[in-house]
Amino acid sequence: MSDLFAVFGVNWKLLLIQAVNFGLLLTVLTYLLYKPVLKIIDERREKIAEGVRTAEAAARRLAEAKAKGEGLVATAAREAEGLVAAARTRADERGAEIVMTAEARATATLKDAAERAEEAKRLALKESEREIARTAMLAAEKILREKSA
């Protein structure tokens, strides 16, 4: 075998030393570089997995909060509709009450105006009767003067 190494120009002592050096280098790199890098990769993988779990939990909480918010909005909308309906009912009642009051006032005003008009008519007729009586007396007096004259 040593002849075979000599034919190819390989020094077996140097090859052995290089193999030992390679083994030492492999061992040192394994402990100083490969294992720490694997540890960092595992830690990052765990952090990423934890982040994914946290994001999923946050998404669930967000969905729950959104559903709760929609429920609150729906409840508030129903309550608002009830309040609006009650306000409309009260407004309709109040409006009917105001219309009835206005109609009563209008009726009273019309009645009062009719009474005043009737009184004015009666006074005008009485005044007319007096004026006619006075005119008739003046005419009769004038006729009597003309006959006596």
| Predicted local confidence at residue 1, as pLDDT | 65
pTM of the model: 0.43
Radius of gyration of the chain (CA): 61
Dihedral sign for Cα 46, 49, 54, 57, please: negative
Secondary structure (3-state) at 83 = helix
Please state the φ and ψ torsions of residue 126, each to the nearest 5 degrees.
-65, -45
Please state the φ and ψ torsions of residue 11, each to the nearest 5 degrees.
-90, 115
**Please, which pLDDT band fits residue 9 given cuts at 50, 70 and 90?**
confident
Residue written as token pair 């309550």: 79
123-145 mean pLDDT: 90
Domain residues of the chain, as ranges?
2-148
